[in-house]
Structure 1
Amino acid sequence: MANDRIADHGLLADGRSAALVDRNGSVNWWCPERFDAPSVFARLLDPNGGHWSLRPRGRFEVHRSYLPGTLVLRTVFRTGQGEVTVTDGLALEPGARGHQIGRRSPRALVRVVEGVSGVVPMAMSYCPRFEYARRDAYLVRRDGTLRATAGPTTLTLDASLPLASTAGEATLDFEVHAGQRETFTLRYAPTYGEAPAVPTVDDPDPLAETVLGWRSWAEEHPFQGSYAELVQRNALVLQGLTYQPSGAVVAAATTSLPEELGGDRNYDYRYAWLRDFCLTLRALWVAACPTEAGRLFDWVASAVGRVGGSQVPIMFGVEGERELDERTMETLRGYADSAPVRVGNEAWRQRQLDVLGEVLDAAWRLRDHLDPMPEEIRDLLRDLADQAATSWREPDAGMWEARDAQRHYLSSKVYCWVGLDRAVRFGERLGDADDLARWTRQRDEVRETILREGWNADVGAYTGAFGSDRLDASVLVMPIIGFLPAADPRMRATINLIDRRLGHNGLLRRWDGDPATFHLCSFWLAQCLTLAGERDRAARLFEIIASKANDLGLFAEQLDPRTGEQLGNFPQAFSHIGLILAAWQLSTASTGATYSEEGYP
């Protein structure tokens, strides 16, 4: 089946790339070289985009789950003839444990079929389509394997059973008896490079090292608080979205899954945003450990480099690339015919002033790990503070990346305040007396301006932009980052009004007219209610939002309030970050801890 529901998919990851496999046993998305590389399977975006299906013939029921503490997926197929399991994983390198997993991925997708009871007829279909379905594959049998090459990419399929093939597809019909095991291994290698060692079909347990690797990471990162199991599962998802060679965390594993069916807001999210950076780092700090948070900050510092007076890029490729020009893939129809399919993201050219504060805020969170502070980090942070001091009065594209016009977005001003506030807190570690005086003056002026211009008395709330009467859920960051207490009368009125006007059964849209609710904003609301002293109400809301994940605990970006369908790129880091931070906020409230002046861990 093509264009299965977004939420029907599970995530496989190996520290460099991600694959999505649906409930029917079809791998519908994989970019094996790295997250943002060309796809070899893209049926998620087009019926003819390429796939690798492994499923029973005839009718079946499905139950699936991750092996505990891993991103190895086990699907149980129950049929009238018996029961069979398919265990899927992107292989991790043998022997890698803890923080070392994923650094040198074998680039191999392993699928293990095991008979549980009876005799189950099975069918396999393997149809790679290279470079976003621009190239058909020609399969060549070599040394008992099927090899497909298209330009720089070579795939080699090995199986414990003989495969039949035509020019562009391999098929296999076979039966699995109780106790029988069959193994399939698909490995990627650059056509003109050396192929890495991968698990073989003769290996008695080809995913054993992968399971041990994931569990070693999970065991090092226990979360002591409410919803511990849920937080750890979401932390694993963030780890799965991490490009391990650099430490960058991508916003999602996919491109062009639509915010609205039939709409054109279909963007490529396989990159790392500074917009997400601050929240990502906090979530890693809470749910993992400072090692991951520190690696992420090191990557950002390296990617941004020396700023001076130039515009700070808002996003990067996973190895720090800046030019991410957007183009349309005419070879793919789009998910549910929602065109266009885009590769690259033109938002890299935008100015978003919030990034200045996000990087400074992250540095403040890591201040103990930046003592002594390296000279290049000090220069970067000083440049960012100087930019916040001089540019906060200017309009920008805002955190939702508006493509129509620049505005004086409230959240952007708030994050400029955050940047200046953290710079002042660093004190002499960051600037001299003149710097600190200048940053302090600008910080106070930003705050006064936000409180005066951001409040709309006619609406009775802080609105999304100066002079606007439009509510925007992005202003919920104000209490979360410590700009205003949630119990402040105007802030409390804003929270209540956003809940009433943008809410749908507890879930929030970003703005009035947004076609779907946005998971991160819903979790922000739960955080704000907790900070306002309404923990029971916040907990009920949190549990409603958490229940909207799919059966594997995965979130897309948004949820259609009419149909309950998940929409947008998948899985979305923002959504999982929101869950982790809301769970932390609830845990802090349940322990009776006092509200910290920063308002977050």
Structure 2
Amino acid sequence: MTDISIADHGLIGDLQTAALVSTDGSVDWLCCPRFDSPSVFGGLLDPRGGHFRIHPAVPGSRVRQMYLPDTAVLITRFLTEAGVGEVVDFMPPADGAATNQHRLVRMVRCVRGRMRFAVELAPRFDYGRSPHAVHRTEHGAVFHTDALTLTLHPVREPDDPRLLTDVGLHDGDVHAAIALTAGDVRGVVLEFGADGPPREIRVAEVHRLFDDTVAYWRSWLARSTYTGRWRETVQRSAITLKLMTYAPTGGLVAAPTTSLPEQVGGERNWDYRYTWVRDAALAVSALLRLGFVAESVGFAVWLRDRVTARAGDGERLKIMYRVDGSAEIEEECLEHWVGFRGSRPVRIGNGAARQLQLDVFGEAMDSLFLADRCGLPIGHRGWQEIRGLLDWLTGQWNQPEEGIWETRGGRKDFTYGRLMSWVAFDRGIRLAQRHGRPADLGRWTAARDEIYEQIHDHGWSTRRQAFVQHFDDEVLDSALLRMPAVGFMTPHDPLWTSTMRAIEEELVADSLVYRYNPETSPDGLAGSEGTFSLCSFLYVDALARSGRLDDARLAFEKMVTYASPLGLYSEEIDATGEQIGNFPQAFTHLALIEAAVTLNEALDARRDGDAR
């Protein structure tokens, strides 16, 4: 429902797709059978987009939402004078091969007194473009389209008439009621791609699904080695990232949503339901630092496979892929949808897939280098593909591109793209030397050194006393906060400390950081945007590396206050503190983990030094 804010949602999923559940008890975003499939529930972007709502039949309840600790099980609590009820939402993990069969479990419990719940099941298939037929049976209902079948199973005990009373069909939707007293547990299971007809599901069976799902998430999280100061915040980010990982391939979607606006009412609305190379690359580092070796291996393998595919078809590494690893992504607009709070256009697909963004080569090489250092070596075939990639890059790095922010104002010589091209060659050289691998070290070294000189000669502004966004102007760019993290310069170099001061003066507002100033750096789009949460955490990391630990800690603690009540972050934060942009965003949660670990290690080192 579009009157609910972006931050008033929880994320659940089964590792192949995910759903957003709002504080009013509505599943208003879910695509099936994959993250990048058409939506079944799209009420988040249009009131006619479909929803699955379970809520108290009498208005006026207070609502609280929480995750069951250390899990991805979401609990929405409704509190009234007459009673307290809960809707417990989860999806049993599908941590294996790709499947069209998925289950959304919605347990309904009465904790105190009495409560009557209303059920509204209104799917809208293929972004509301495909009609459906609905067939009601004695034991539930089935929704049919040519591409997908949804089956509604009631949860009840034998001979219990209280569940799904007043069941009715209206315009292809199901409406029903659930009347409960204290201690009752009932609910419904929505099954996608079911083989059989609806059936009554016993409460004990739903409890088993619940227990198995809880055990899965707690067992997975127990592998974390992080014991630092922000344990709950970091672990919630880790679970969120796991929820956005497509298990069959290991691909990490940038977000499970599309077209949530960077400016409400504006046109900066993009589809993030794909896997970006830079997101997957940062995930290798972030999750290794938490001890999730298997996930880091998965992301490293995903990156290796993309490099291999590039060499196989003669094309360069793409910047993004579908979750199954394919690269065919076309952008179109859903003209029949009004968008979140009137934010048009609603886009599906992403035209940036055709852009040249040179930084992705450095991101990929840095992550593979890190994986190698952590005991995940690159085999012969993988090295052959890396050689091919870097040999190709020696002839390609010195050209204009669209850059990390995927601007649509024309190609430019972006400093960050050059920086990460330097990283690509640097990591390749070090890998070759460490393992004695064959490589054209002369060409790679010459390219690396030329990039280094070019950044200092053309990416540095004497007037601004800072490294700038691109060579043709003096605009600042917070992506360059990564310069010390990738080893291009030391955090105490006067050139860097001066750049930090310039960024703080122009792009930092009370610890929140803008990507760049669109007014001074036209990006081909109308309107403005909020502060970029990724960049705010990059700022924390840069402060910590520069030894400004008190400033870093204050900035991190402020960012924690901007999280949603469930600890989730969208892409941006507007001037009022509201979360905007696609939600939740993987890049932000990855940067949070990196900043938390870097800052925690620095604080520990200072503490230990003071103790001595």
- Whether TM exceeds 0.5 here: the answer is yes
Equivalent AA in structure 2 for residue 53 of structure 1: R
Q: Where does structure 2 lack aligned partners over 5 or more consecutive residues?
A: 157-162, 519-527, 608-612
Partner of 2:272: 269
Alpha-carbon distance change, 166 to 276 in structure 1, aligned in 2, over 3 angstroms: same
Partner of 1:589: 602
User: In the alignment, which of 483, 489, 497 is matched to residue 492 of structure 1?
Assistant: 497
Determine whether 1:12 maps to 2:16: no
Q: How does 1:292-311 map to 2 (within 5 A)?
A: 292-308=295-311, 310-311=315-316
Alpha-carbon distance change, 576 to 169 in structure 1, aligned in 2, over 3 angstroms: same
Determine whether 1:404 maps to 2:399: no
1:494-534 C-alpha deviation (Å, 9 max, x unpaired)? 11221221122210111114520000000011111101101
Report the Cα distance in structure 2 between the residues aligned to 1:260 and 1:227, rounded to whole angstroms: 30
Alpha-carbon distance change, 80 to 432 in structure 1, aligned in 2, over 3 angstroms: closer
Q: How does 1:354-433 map to 2 (within 5 A)?
A: 354-368=359-373, 373-428=378-433
Report the Cα distance in structure 1 between the residues aligned to 2:497 and 2:270, rounded to whole angstroms: 34
Q: Which piece of structure 1 moves more, 377-386 or 533-542?
A: 377-386
Q: How does 1:123-272 map to 2 (within 5 A)?
A: 123-142=118-137, 144-159=139-154, 160=156, 161-162=163-164, 163-189=167-193, 194=195, 200-202=201-203, 203=205, 205=207, 206-272=209-275
1:566-591 C-alpha deviation (Å, 9 max, x unpaired)? 11101100110111000011111022
User: In the alignment, which of 567, 584, 593 is matched to residue 571 of structure 1?
Assistant: 584
Report the Cα distance in structure 1 between the residues aligned to 2:427 and 2:455, rounded to whole angstroms: 17
Q: CA deviation at 1:333?
A: 1.3
Equivalent AA in structure 2 for residue 581 of structure 1: E
Report the Cα distance in structure 1 between the residues aligned to 2:272 and 2:59, rounded to whole angstroms: 36
Alpha-carbon contact 2:141-2:198 (below 8 Å) kept: no
Equivalent AA in structure 2 for residue 124 of structure 1: V
Q: Which piece of structure 1 moves more, 384-393 or 435-444?
A: 384-393
Partner of 1:89: 90
Partner of 2:159: none
Report the Cα distance in structure 2 between the residues aligned to 1:444 and 1:581, rounded to whole angstroms: 28
Report the Cα distance in structure 2 between the residues aligned to 1:248 and 1:310, rounded to whole angstroms: 20
1:550-570 C-alpha deviation (Å, 9 max, x unpaired)? 000011000102x21111101
Report the Cα distance in structure 1 between the residues aligned to 2:360 and 2:185, rounded to whole angstroms: 51
Aligned residues: 584
Moved over 4 A (4+): 100-106, 194-199, 368-372, 428-434
Percent identity, please.
37
Alpha-carbon distance change, 455 to 332 in structure 1, aligned in 2, over 3 angstroms: same
Q: What is the SS of the residue equivalent to 1:86?
A: strand
Alpha-carbon contact 1:130-1:136 (below 8 Å) kept: yes
Alpha-carbon contact 1:45-1:333 (below 8 Å) kept: yes
Q: CA deviation at 1:392?
A: 1.9
Q: CA deviation at 1:260?
A: 0.7
Equivalent AA in structure 1 for residue 172 of structure 2: G
With normalisation by structure 2, the TM-score equals 0.91
Partner of 1:558: 572
Partner of 1:282: 285
Alpha-carbon distance change, 198 to 376 in structure 1, aligned in 2, over 3 angstroms: farther
Equivalent AA in structure 1 for residue 500 of structure 2: I
Q: Where does structure 1 lack aligned partners over 5 or more consecutive residues?
A: 94-99, 595-601
Alpha-carbon contact 1:158-1:201 (below 8 Å) kept: no
Partner of 1:548: 562
Q: How does 1:517-536 map to 2 (within 5 A)?
A: 517-536=531-550
1:2-25 C-alpha deviation (Å, 9 max, x unpaired)? 342111111001000010000010
Partner of 2:515: 510
Alpha-carbon distance change, 397 to 21 in structure 1, aligned in 2, over 3 angstroms: same
1:413-454 C-alpha deviation (Å, 9 max, x unpaired)? 000000010011012567767611221122111111111211
Report the Cα distance in structure 1 between the residues aligned to 2:322 and 2:330, rounded to whole angstroms: 11
Report the Cα distance in structure 2 between the residues aligned to 1:333 and 1:478, rounded to whole angstroms: 41
Partner of 1:96: none
What RMSD in Å do the two structures reach over aligned CA positions?
A: 2.2
Equivalent AA in structure 2 for residue 387 of structure 1: W
Report the Cα distance in structure 2 between the residues aligned to 1:273 and 1:388, rounded to whole angstroms: 19
1:478-506 C-alpha deviation (Å, 9 max, x unpaired)? 11211112221111111122122112221
Partner of 1:465: 470
Report the Cα distance in structure 2 between the residues aligned to 1:391 and 1:283, rounded to whole angstroms: 29
Report the Cα distance in structure 2 between the residues aligned to 1:459 and 1:472, rounded to whole angstroms: 12
Alpha-carbon contact 1:12-1:18 (below 8 Å) kept: yes
With normalisation by structure 1, the TM-score equals 0.93
1:384-414 C-alpha deviation (Å, 9 max, x unpaired)? 2223322221111100011120001011000
